[in-house]
Structure 1
């Protein structure tokens, strides 16, 4: 269901019934450029708006030469440029921020990326309050609550329209399992819940075709810390950008499909969720059914084994702190 090839088989070959404007904030960065390329190839996108603190007009000019129907424009790094990039957008993807380097955790990025996301969220709340907001900027566990707090302050918060992109965790899980089992990744439907960093990432192998993998500590660790593997391999030159771009494009494509009337579109994503609110945890990633209004249905975690329950318990402890950190940041740093 969550096959990595979907972005190719559905997005690139589908005949779009309805076209729309999509905006990318941070479009000239390591994630932003390949993400924008994938969106340019998507026939459901009629207008692609690119914004960054530098380089967006150049990226836009480059992509505009690709022979697909959508128009592309890169906007100047000004308040008016940002507003124009956002006006009329149905989907806004936010990969803006600094990448991780060796030895850094996602939380190490917090102060820099938190300010960036806060300011971009304010622009979104003003220029496209009804858009679906897809947050890629790390740490997602904290940046999504930042966006929610900003939208609440502006009086335009709609919990059904805010998403933290955790798709990469599912993409990785299916790929890693296929390597072990010698299967096709598109046939591996691995549920991943929780958050989007370290121990908050909880793969539920007991719900897959290979329940025995729930006891494979090495595999669990690889899914939880797959980002570190890329950071180390790039030797200081960046973090997961290409795979993250694919995951972001897949999430955007799923929202477009659902908005255009397709039923039963389900993706894992970090949303305002009722699942653990009784424990003071307002956001949680699980399978979510998408529709024209964004979130249509949030699926429960479902049955887990003893190993996974321990993983969930550890996840919830960290996740609660991460979410609160985002809320506290906005309270202490409201910005201009």
Structure 2
């Protein structure tokens, strides 16, 4: 680990076992939590100033685990720890493009906020750029597909894997944006699951959502997470109902991650 980690600027962590049919993200928790904890301990020791991009599921719990480990080592910089939720954005853009007929999904920007599993994933179609109109009779099914698209892939692969290719693309998209921002490019924004109180503008959002960890659009810069952008306040009534379910699920996920580090399960 020392030889591999020393001198690295960015860590992208997709390590862990994939989901199998019938498995929830929760089932993955103990195995993947231990893997992430061990890797972050190495980062804290050998590359404490590096940017860390956590892909390993369940992100809602593994990012708080990473934060706890970094805090204990005295090297936690909230601006440099990211939970990669870009896959949810990619799915939202792709599925909406199928409805609107847009040939290039990336031309439509849709903020997807909250967490990175099931009901904690909340797409804000009302704030899409350019504006999109989703037929009312397709809205529920569209939200469900964005929230549970991973289950669709696991089922389709019949136990042979999970959403690896789309996740690889999403991980690349976020990492590339961060690298460009670190090199000085301006105006780069991507939703990410971060520790809000440690990011400019994040405190106010944390108070609204009742959670310190939450995914919102993040303006990236040389230091990492330069600014958290409040899109929560402008959510419409339909989206507010989705957010209520998100808040409930997210609280338990975060506590589980923190608890894992503070009171490790017996080996």
TM-score by length of 2: 0.92
Query: How far apart are the structure 2 equivalents of 1:334 and 1:248?
Result: 30
Change (3 A) 1:193 1:252: same
Change (3 A) 1:217 1:280: closer
Question: Does residue 210 of structure 2 align to residue 288 of structure 1?
Answer: no
Rg bigger for which structure? 1
Contact 1:160–1:294 under 8 Å retained in 2: yes
Question: Does residue 106 of structure 2 align to residue 193 of structure 1?
Answer: no
Shift of 1:334: 8.5
- In terms of fraction of residues, the more helix-rich structure is 2
Q: Please list every run of at least 4 consecutive aligned residues from structure 1 whose deviation after the TM superposition is greater than 6 angstroms.
A: none
Shift of 1:182: 1.2
Question: Does residue 92 of structure 2 align to residue 173 of structure 1?
Answer: yes
Query: How far apart are the structure 1 equivalents of 2:135 and 2:47?
Result: 43
How many pairs are equivalent?
255
In the alignment, which residue of structure 2 is the partner of 1:94? 13
Query: How far apart are the structure 2 equivalents of 1:238 and 1:317?
Result: 29
Change (3 A) 1:261 1:84: same
Shift of 1:181: 1.5
List runs of 5+ in structure 2 lacking aligned partners: 197-202
Shift of 1:104: 1.1
Question: Does residue 164 of structure 2 align to residue 241 of structure 1?
Answer: yes
Contact 1:214–1:220 under 8 Å retained in 2: no
List runs of 5+ in structure 1 lacking aligned partners: 1-81
In the alignment, which residue of structure 2 is the partner of 1:206? 126
Query: How far apart are the structure 2 equivalents of 1:180 and 1:155?
Result: 48
Query: How far apart are the structure 2 equivalents of 1:241 and 1:320?
Result: 27
**Relative CO higher for 1 or 2, CA cutoff 8 Å, sep ≥ 6?**
2
User: Could you report, residue by residue, the CA deviation over 1:72-127 in whole angstroms, capped at 9, with x for unpaired residues?
Assistant: xxxxxxxxxx1211111111000000000111111110000000111111000001
Query: How far apart are the structure 2 equivalents of 1:220 and 1:181?
Result: 15
TM-score by length of 1: 0.73
In the alignment, which residue of structure 1 is the partner of 2:187? 264
Shift of 1:189: 1.2
In the alignment, which residue of structure 2 is the partner of 1:319? 250
